[in-house]
Structure 1
Amino acid sequence: MEDLEFYTEEKALDLVLGQKGTPERDQYEENMHSFLVGEAIKQARQSKNLTQEELGKLIGVQKAQISRIENGKNLTLSTLAKVFKAMGISAKLEIGNLGKVALW
């Protein structure tokens, strides 16, 4: 029987998408981070028993925009700040040598 080789996630991504710093890999990682942020927003919304429509009304957008946000699309710092503020979530970012920055 042939021996199977196991790969770490990092090695698999290197083989399929290229090394870190290549356009394909950077795009994948950016999309993945956006997806995970959107998923976190969705889970927070659900934990507060809000519908997409209700959250949309709180920040002044349509339900479809909330859906896009939860799918990792149209994510900007101003949008994130509005969403977090509407749900009463405090958010801080650590930005290199600038230190911690509060979104609101």
Structure 2
Amino acid sequence: MATKAIKSYSLSEMKDKYIGQVGSTERDEYEYELRMDVLGRMIKTARQERNLTQEQLGQLVGVQKSQISKLESSTNSATIDTILKVFKALKADIHFNVTLENQYVKLA
């Protein structure tokens, strides 16, 4: 009996097929939501490592507990200013990497 070879796909190929090609509205929305989810998880992890409650972190940043909760659960788009304040309150470094027309720019 002949065996059939199983085709494997890369993650990029799967995203292209099921979410949309790079540059499409669907793919851009997916990538944005994924980045916001990762950012929220980083905030929550850093807060928990510092043994802070959401309310305590909110007080350090100057926002309500509910805004910290929304940041951590990615239900709210945050301004860069708020994100910077959160990481400063957590005594955590944050770095931004930007690619402009194939040129890599690093902001630290």
Fold equivalence (TM over 0.5): yes
Cα distance in 2 for residues equivalent to 1:13 and 1:100: 27
Superposition RMSD in Å: 2.0
Cα distance in 1 for residues equivalent to 2:4 and 2:105: 51
Distance 1:70 1:14, change over 3 A: same
1:93 aligns with 2:96: yes
Unaligned runs of 5+ in 2: none
Distance 1:5 1:64, change over 3 A: same
- How far is the alpha carbon of 1:87 from its aligned partner? 1.1
- Give deviations 1:35-55, integer Å, cap 9, x for gaps: 101101110000001111110
Task: Indicate the structure with greater helix content.
Answer: 1
- How far is the alpha carbon of 1:92 from its aligned partner? 2.6
Alignment partner of 1:9 out of 11, 23, 26: 11
Cα distance in 1 for residues equivalent to 2:91 and 2:50: 10
TM-score (norm 1): 0.84
Alignment partner of 2:84 out of 81, 85, 88: 81
Among all aligned residue pairs of Structure 1 and Structure 2, give the percentage whose two residues are the same amino acid: 40
Cα distance in 1 for residues equivalent to 2:23 and 2:17: 14
Q: Number of residue pairs matched?
A: 102
- How far is the alpha carbon of 1:6 from its aligned partner? 2.4
TM-score (norm 2): 0.82
The aligned residue for residue 37 of structure 1 is 39
Unaligned runs of 5+ in 1: none
